[in-house]
Amino acid sequence: MASLILDERDQVFVLHEMLDVEKLCASQRYADFSRDTFDMILTEAQKLATDAVLPTLAESDKQGCRLVDGQVHVPECFHKPYKVYCEGGWNCMTFPPEIGGQGLPAVIRTAAHDWFAHNFSFISYPGLGEGAAHLIVTYGSEAQKAKYLPKMVSGEWGGTMCLTEPGAGSDVGNLSTKAIRQPDGTFRLQGTKIFITSGDSDLVTNVIHPVLARIEGDPAGTKGISIFLVPKYLVNADGSLGRRNDFEIAKIEEKMGIHGSATCLINFGDNGDCYAELLGNEREGMKVMFQLMNEARLSVGMQGLASATIAYLHALKYTKERLQGSSLLEFKNPEAPRVAIINHPDVRRMLLWMKSHVDGMRAMTYFTAYCLDKHEVMEDEAEKDKWLGLAEMLTPILKAYCSDMGFRVTETAMQCYGGYGFCAEYPVEQFLRDEKIASIYEGANGIQALDLVGRKMGMKKGAYFMGLLAEMNATCATYKGSLPDLAADVQAAVDALAEMGMYFAGCAKAGKFLVPITNAYPFLMLMSKVIMAWFLLWEAGVAKAKLDTLAKAKGADPADAAGWTAFVKNDKDAAFYTGKLSSAKYFIKNVLPEVDAAIKAIKNEDMSLLEIPEEAFAS
């Protein structure tokens, strides 16, 4: 039976038919791998997800986490899969083999985690540990690497990301946690952090917290922030665990979803003895933490993709099985047999809307990871910078669009179920609850929009934005012969996006900087839809070539309507490629036109949102 976690055929298509990731193996960095290796890894990922991760989804939601005597106890059902996950080397897949990793490309790690991210409560524990370990790999001293990495890479110890405070969420520079310098070069921390994902766990014997704080006497704002490693248990010289550090898990938040993930409030240094080690250089905390934040943003985009995928596949299965109403062609016949609801036009509209978004989001997610791999393997500096630039541009888009649309897909899937979808009898209501947080944490999506407009668009004097436009232009040129209508529509949207970039630059020069700032989120959504159309056109172009070759080999003629229908119905590859063409056509013809309306709205330069007095919002 086909998986209800993700469509493995689509995964193969994006990796091998679209991106041709095996070409990475031609580089020295990935020379030990092959397509066979990659395929074997993903087969095992599917098995682990199906047998161990998915079965804990509903149970962990009901059980939740408990705080007992300062120790977080995660759902009991997580313990066995976590052990299997770590023993299989799924954590730290991209880390160098010399420190216990597998040295795999980021795109293969991304594809593997595509199988796991539907259960974000579970995957948050090893995922946060991996991110914290990667900070130490990049910025840690040799002593810190020797002390912490072996057991973090193995999964015996966990990690977190401690940024947010009650008065400093998106405004990180306003944090109040302070670091007090000690004569031996260590520090003592005092302060409170909130909303700490996987803040503690009985899955591991120690937790290493990277914590943002300000050294006493350092300047205000983000320039004065440093980052510290704060272990739950201090580590003795021989590697054994010493005393419990002076911080308290004061609370587990009660949340709408991801109940199996312990979102904690942590008080550091209530007794004045919270041991901390500086990570990297003083006053470079934001630089260090941005590595983890960017990785987390890509993971949150993956959460959106995974939630959308599992919701769509469940809805698709339900609509094929649920009998309701008669065929539209026989609506006047009271004796007409009941048909599966997938036959009803509005249900088909919802399904194709969901499919087109899932297809585009998977391509975007994998391509962004592939850009990071290309950056690593390229020897020419200009080429390295090109691929880095593409990843930089796509990161806020991936985080914001995939998390927002991931939620919209789960919502649309629920609509397909009707009243049953709103009930806990079916899993779609949990998919929706678990996904909502994705647009809020790791930088709310409004922050991602400001990052895109205020920082990313201008990086390298606009060179990264121009590089992205060049890639999209090249795809349109490639497929203007085989898919002229769709390519023309996408090209027009790409041109409009380029013009909007110039328009925003003109607003800045004219002193109208509030126009791009107040329209940052609408612009991000506009740009996201153009990028989605680009990926879907790319997929359609590959699919059409494959379908034409397949049809020729099977003697199928598109001019023979009945014969072609039978061909598509009876050949799995033909059906799959036809689905890719339909997905692209639907999005480009029905969703992409929304870009024109967004451009018109932005160019109105309406400042209502700033002009309305606070008192006028409600009486």
- CB hemisphere CA count around 461 (13 angstroms): 0
Q: Give the residue from 195, 186, 193 showing the smallest Cα distance to 143.
A: 186
Report the alpha-carbon distance of residue 207 to residue 227 in Å, rounded. Answer: 16
**DSSP code at position 268:** E
Burial code (b: 16+ CB inside 10 Å, e: under 16) for 377-386 equals bbeeeeeebb
Q: Which of 442, 539, 594, 611 is catalytic?
A: 442
Sign of the torsion angle spanned by Cα atoms 137, 140, 141, 143: negative
- Asked if 313 contacts 375 with a C-beta cutoff of 8 angstroms, the reply is no
Relative orientation angle of helices 345-377 and 381-417, to the nearest 10 degrees: 160
> In 10 A of CB 364, how many CB atoms?
23
Distances (CA, A) of 287 to 95, 281, 283: 21, 10, 9
Report the alpha-carbon distance of residue 348 to residue 129 in Å, rounded. Answer: 41
Report the alpha-carbon distance of residue 377 to residue 29 in Å, rounded. Answer: 7
Residue type (1 letter), 159: G
Q: Give the residue from 160, 114, 110, 106 showing the smallest Cα distance to 133.
A: 160
**Residue 442 among the catalytic residues:** yes
What tokens appear for 79 in the block?
């313990």
- Asked if 384 contacts 36 with a C-beta cutoff of 8 angstroms, the reply is no
SS (H, E, C) 103-114: CCCHHHHHHHHH
Report the alpha-carbon distance of residue 291 to residue 156 in Å, rounded. Answer: 23
Q: Give the residue from 190, 204, 78 showing the smallest Cα distance to 153.
A: 204
What tokens appear for 20 in the block?
């041709």
Q: Give the residue from 364, 351, 406 showing the smallest Cα distance to 539.
A: 364
- Asked if 532 contacts 364 with a C-beta cutoff of 8 angstroms, the reply is yes
**Which alpha helices (H) appear in 437-560, and where do they start and end?**
445-451, 463-479, 484-509, 514-518, 520-554
Report the alpha-carbon distance of residue 90 to residue 96 in Å, rounded. Answer: 13
Instruction: Give strand pairing partners of 71.
Output: 68
- Asked if 396 contacts 449 with a C-beta cutoff of 8 angstroms, the reply is yes
Q: Give the residue from 429, 366, 438, 450 showing the smallest Cα distance to 404.
A: 438
Distances (CA, A) of 132 to 89, 140, 289: 17, 11, 9
What residues act catalytically?
Answer: 442
